[in-house]
Structure 1
Amino acid sequence: MSEQVSTETVKVIDRLTITFLVDNCIEWMSKLPAGFTHELPQHLQQGLPIDTTKGVPVLNFDNFCCGAHGFAALIETYVDGEETSQLTLFDTGPDSLSLVRNVSAMEVPIHKIGHVITSHWHSDHTGGLLSFLDLRSTVVPAAKPCIVDVHPDRPLSRGIAPGPGYDKVICALPLDPTFELIEKAGGVVEKHAKGHAIADGTVWVSGEIPRVTDFEAGMLGGMRWVEEGSIGRWTGEQHIMDERYAAIDVAGKGLVIFSACSHAGIVNVVKDAVTTFSRPIYMIIGGLHLAGPEFGPRIPPTVEFLSKRLIPSPTYILPMHCSGFQSKIALEREFGDGCVPAGVGHKIEILGDREHDKRLFPPSYL
């Protein structure tokens, strides 16, 4: 079990806005629940050029978001009575192009983003960090430096060894940015292995996620490059122990969980969040890492836990990035409209309710 860290500094917030800036999927047309907004209406609100002949706005798809194999979410947290909201970026996508394009498309005030959280050291989550920091310093050179919250255990390199043997590395992932390059690009590196609060206490970043389930066995083909003196070699790294999740506590709703890749297993993530906060789970967001033959057998027990054994079950679950088609089908079967087809460019507004919080979620929950 991981060392318990006090959450006394974590605030219950009154408003949470989420904008997905990188995801594998683009979803323009599916029905979304109340509080969710597709990308197109947001562009219309930005004020598009008007065709003087036809009298209507003209779309420019060059200024729309693009999809990419990765994840990034802009998190805006606000507490009633405080002067300003807090903007936090959770992961940065896989490359130097997708995040900066989508930031521009959604007209994100990037100079106001005070923190970047990297969920773990895999380049589909860190690949856009340096280009984001470069853009931020270019747009507003005098902006307050951005804190980049990372796990201290950065690998030299990580690779992929597919089944059935999981022992032959077929490729290495692009290198994660070094601490030195992050600082050079204008970020202020903060290394954290334990759970802690950021963004003026409105966002919780977990520490090591305890592995307690018997069916969430990590990534069997995960490999890590290690060097001993002048000799380097690949070694198995089934459990990506530097992975962290983020949690936000919304008044009257409960916890909103961001788990970018769920290498620890989303059930382990949820169990740790409930144990840490003794609060119900309102929404689960991100990659569930249930795509592909290796992970297929984990789908039934995962869905069974989230829909039947977790009480109360989440109101919404947003399977994104590496979740896979089969897991989305299974979750939709159990959660119905509560399984949301989220994608890049979508925005979510969650409003808290302090009185509702007092009635439904007393301190004795769990």
Structure 2
Amino acid sequence: MSTSTHVDKLTITFLVDNCIEWMTKLPPGFVHELPQHIQLYPLPDEVTGVPIVDFDHFCCGAHGFAALIETQIDGADSHFTLFDTGPDSQSLVRNISAMKIPVKKIEHIVTSHWHRDHTGGLLSFLGLRNATPGTPCIVDVHPDRPYARGIAPGPNYDKVVCALPADPTFDEIEKAGGVLQKHVDGHLIAGGTIWVSGEIPRVTEFEGGMLGGVRWNKDKWVKEQHIMDERYAAIDVAGKGLVIFSACSHAGIVNVVKDAIAVFARPIYMIIGGLHLAGPEFSYRLPLTVKFLSEQLRPSPTYILPMHCSGFQSKLTLDAAFGEGCVPAGVGLKVNVVGDRERDKELFPPVY
């Protein structure tokens, strides 16, 4: 199985997330939204001479996830990939404008799975990107798109209370100008710098999916707790290890990590995204998950960024286990990861 080339530079900009975090101290390489605006896009006031904090042009939070991933190898041209697109037609395009993202450089969109909080901004983004001529954007999806998915809450999980808005159809994606690519198996994109997984093996005993998950099948709702179309993305940074994007972790983040290690045989440097540990249904998984990541996995991750559907309690528990390694990420935040090939040789010498 082919895996990605070591990346020398990785830059991440979070474009959709539930949270906005402007003030907490961040580790080196992490940059809040506010200083990015002040340093890069100043609007000087004629009277005071200092930049104005223009709240009309800053990011807004929304229940969903989207991240711009920029990867670069040895000074070559960067590849720009959008991982998920948020829940609606407005959040992503607004925040792209706020962060002044060069949309024409985005060559690839990856949808992690078919849930509207991850696909809702896809068509509006394609409309924004294709407003001017240029190379079409590839849209990488799992082929098993449901007609509808719904929510059947506990304690019995037997009554469907609502359906999620429909995901974009394949025809709608192509009519919006996207070049549709359907993938079941793991594969490389972005010049070999990003690995998009196939089906995630369920190997843990305690990560049992989403008990209230249901899917419309022909003429009725059927239980669908495992969401098998979910994929994660991984980037292997030289001298650091794997940076994992798991937008919702329906498979369980431990299953995701175990699969990534099996594919790459490399350590985990950073875990990013929704860990789906919020609420009473998932509370029993939280101590088991944190114990695996902080005590059983060796080396343990340097950074964990619990976002989107992770839940407040998971952030507290991970903060207690990882300290500053648990980073309070949110929309507008930028992360710069610089590789080190010499350090990579020292830490991970080749086996002959």
Compute the TM-score of the two structures, normalised by the length of structure 2: 0.99
Work out which of the residue numbers 346, 349, 352 in structure 2 matches 1:362. Answer: 349
Cα offset for 1:50?
Answer: 1.5
Q: Which whole-Å deviations, capped at 9, do the CAs of 1:298-334 have from their partners, x for residues lacking one?
A: 0000000000100000000000000001111110001
Q: Which whole-Å deviations, capped at 9, do the CAs of 1:67-113 have from their partners, x for residues lacking one?
A: 0000000000000042x100000000000000000000000001100
Residue pair 1:157, 1:224 contacting (<8 A) in 2 also: yes
| Residues in 2 aligned to 1:240 and 1:7: alpha-carbon distance in whole angstroms | 25
Work out which of the residue numbers 197, 220, 225 in structure 2 matches 1:233. Answer: 220
Cα offset for 1:7?
Answer: 2.0
Residue pair 1:205, 1:247 contacting (<8 A) in 2 also: yes
Corresponding residue of 1:85: 78
Residue pair 1:281, 1:313 contacting (<8 A) in 2 also: yes
| Residues in 1 aligned to 2:33 and 2:240: alpha-carbon distance in whole angstroms | 25
Corresponding residue of 2:307: 320
Residue type of the partner of 2:176? A
| Residues in 1 aligned to 2:302 and 2:135: alpha-carbon distance in whole angstroms | 37
Corresponding residue of 2:329: 342
Work out which of the residue numbers 87, 98, 109 in structure 2 matches 1:105. Answer: 98
> Within 5 Å, which residues of 2 pair with 1:161-200?
161-200=152-191
> Within 5 Å, which residues of 2 pair with 1:89-168?
89-138=82-131, 141-168=132-159
Work out which of the residue numbers 239, 243, 247 in structure 2 matches 1:252. Answer: 239
| Residues in 1 aligned to 2:8 and 2:60: alpha-carbon distance in whole angstroms | 31
Cα offset for 1:363?
Answer: 4.2
Corresponding residue of 1:15: 9
Residue type of the partner of 1:126? T
| Residues in 2 aligned to 1:47 and 1:363: alpha-carbon distance in whole angstroms | 45
Please give the secondary structure, in 1, of the residue aligned with 2:146: coil
Count of matched residue pairs: 352
Q: Which whole-Å deviations, capped at 9, do the CAs of 1:15-54 have from their partners, x for residues lacking one?
A: 0000000000000000000000000011112332221111
Please give the secondary structure, in 1, of the residue aligned with 2:284: helix
> Within 5 Å, which residues of 2 pair with 1:201-216?
201-216=192-207
> Within 5 Å, which residues of 2 pair with 1:65-80?
65-80=59-74
Please give the secondary structure, in 2, of the residue aligned with 1:335: helix
| Residues in 2 aligned to 1:363 and 1:30: alpha-carbon distance in whole angstroms | 40
Corresponding residue of 1:35: 29
Q: Point out where structure 1 has 5 or more consecutive residues left out of the alignment.
A: 1-5
Q: Point out where structure 2 has 5 or more consecutive residues left out of the alignment.
A: none
Residue 81 to residue 52, structure 1, CA distance change in 2 (3 Å): closer
Corresponding residue of 1:274: 261
Q: Percent identity?
A: 73
Please give the secondary structure, in 1, of the residue aligned with 2:13: strand
Please give the secondary structure, in 2, of the residue aligned with 1:76: strand
Work out which of the residue numbers 31, 41, 49 in structure 2 matches 1:47. Answer: 41
Residue type of the partner of 1:224? R
Corresponding residue of 2:56: 62
Cα offset for 1:142?
Answer: 1.4
Please give the secondary structure, in 2, of the residue aligned with 1:301: helix
Please give the secondary structure, in 1, of the residue aligned with 2:220: strand
* Runs of 4+ residues deviating >4 angstroms: none
Cα offset for 1:341?
Answer: 0.3
Residue pair 1:288, 1:323 contacting (<8 A) in 2 also: yes
Please give the secondary structure, in 2, of the residue aligned with 1:50: coil
| Residues in 1 aligned to 2:97 and 2:74: alpha-carbon distance in whole angstroms | 29
